[in-house]
Amino acid sequence: MTKVVDAEAIRQAIERLPLFSPNALQLLQVIADPDHELEDVIRIVKFDSVLTMRVLKVVNSPVYGLVNEVTSIDRALSYLGERMVVSIAVQDNAGQLLNKPLEGYLGEQGALWRHDLFSAIASREVARYARGDFDLDLAFTGGLLHDIGKSIFSDFWKEVAQDALSQIDEGMVADYLMAEQDLAGLDHTEVGYRMARHWQMPEALQRVILHHHHPAEAPDWVQPLVYAVHLGDIVSMMAGCDTGSDGLQYHLDTGYREFFNLSPNALAEIVLNAQEEFSRARESLTN
């Protein structure tokens, strides 16, 4: 008995989403450009008084323990890194979505933001083990946005989600994503992809959102990035930082070996570093 959620209602909910500010969007575009420099990010922040204020507040958060107050954006950015600016901009533009309780997943308020932030940090840590050159901050940004689709999908999913876990346990579907497709007729990656298109996000980020559970299906040019986020997402769930009932109910695609050289010890280091940066980042962004 398949109950399918109303795809048209989801389309309308996406249509109604407020757009990202031009500055935030420009920031994401700059981050997605492999040739960008820190200067480009600094310029965007300086143009945006709200973002400037937020960045200075974060860098002066007690968790970083800086002795002298930082008052220049240049210093703030070289200390925090581009990734914290991205976090602030995403929080300012999609904070409401990211902080919603995920009823369909039995995820409490804030669970999605925590999961996305942890995944972002872990994706960047994974990217350090790339066999080739890698844009670490883009991996972070992809991780931060990868599950954004759950924010909208969850409200529809809650109507049909009850059978998902028993279907998986009984082997009727392969994983949680397949349960979503089977019971709802679509899944959180598709919804997220459509949200990213509505927001006119850079294509690389759209692809991360769409393919993060099946990275082999991503086009070649963006596959390494998608694999980094695929693994960052998994590390985040392993660390107990999931979004609720779907935690760990997904598959690992070992095709990552082509792009990353990960020994068990490397993975342990990733877990350690991610955990540590996550608690700092989370605290500085909350204060």
Q: Are 83 and 141 in contact (CB under 8 A)?
A: yes
The minimum distance between CB 203 and Fe ion, in angstroms, equals 19
- Site for Fe ion contains 190 (CB under 5 A): no
Nearer to another protein, 56 or 239 (CB): 239
- Site for Fe ion contains 182 (CB under 5 A): no
Joined together, the tokens standing for residue 188 give 């959180």
- Site for Fe ion contains 277 (CB under 5 A): no
- Site for Fe ion contains 147 (CB under 5 A): yes
Q: State the residue for tokens 């990275």.
A: 215
Contact region for another protein (CB under 8 A) — 46-54, 71-79, 193-201, 261-269?
261-269
- Site for another protein contains 271 (CB under 8 A): yes
Q: Are 141 and 28 in contact (CB under 8 A)?
A: yes
Kindly identify the residues of this chain, within the stretch 62-121, that bind another protein according to CB under 8 A. 105-107
Best CA proximity match to 28, nearest among 174, 283, 162, 200:
200
Determine the straight-line distance between the first and last CA of the chain, rounded to whole angstroms: 47
- Sequence-distant (≥ 6) Cβ neighbours of residue 258 within 8 angstroms: 131
CA separation for the pair 116, 99 (Å, rounded): 11
**Interaction partner, residue 275 (Fe ion, another protein, none; CB < 5-8 Å by kind):** another protein
The minimum distance between CB 146 and Fe ion, in angstroms, equals 6
DSSP 36: -
The minimum distance between CB 66 and another protein, in angstroms, equals 20
Joined together, the tokens standing for residue 23 give 């500055």
Q: How far is CA 66 from the centre of its chain?
A: 28
CA separation for the pair 78, 211 (Å, rounded): 32
Joined together, the tokens standing for residue 91 give 């929080």
Q: How many residues sit in the footprint of Fe ion (CB under 5 A)? A: 2
**Interaction partner, residue 147 (Fe ion, another protein, none; CB < 5-8 Å by kind):** Fe ion
CA separation for the pair 115, 240 (Å, rounded): 9
Task: Choose which of 75, 167, 239, 283 interacts with another protein (CB under 8 A).
Answer: 239
Nearer to Fe ion, 147 or 190 (CB): 147
Joined together, the tokens standing for residue 246 give 């779907």
**Interaction partner, residue 135 (another protein, Fe ion, none; CB < 5-8 Å by kind):** none
The minimum distance between CB 18 and Fe ion, in angstroms, equals 23
Chain positions contacting Fe ion, by CB under 5 A? 147, 233
Chain positions contacting another protein, by CB under 8 A? 105-107, 164-165, 175, 234, 237-242, 244-245, 247-252, 254, 262-269, 271-272, 275-276
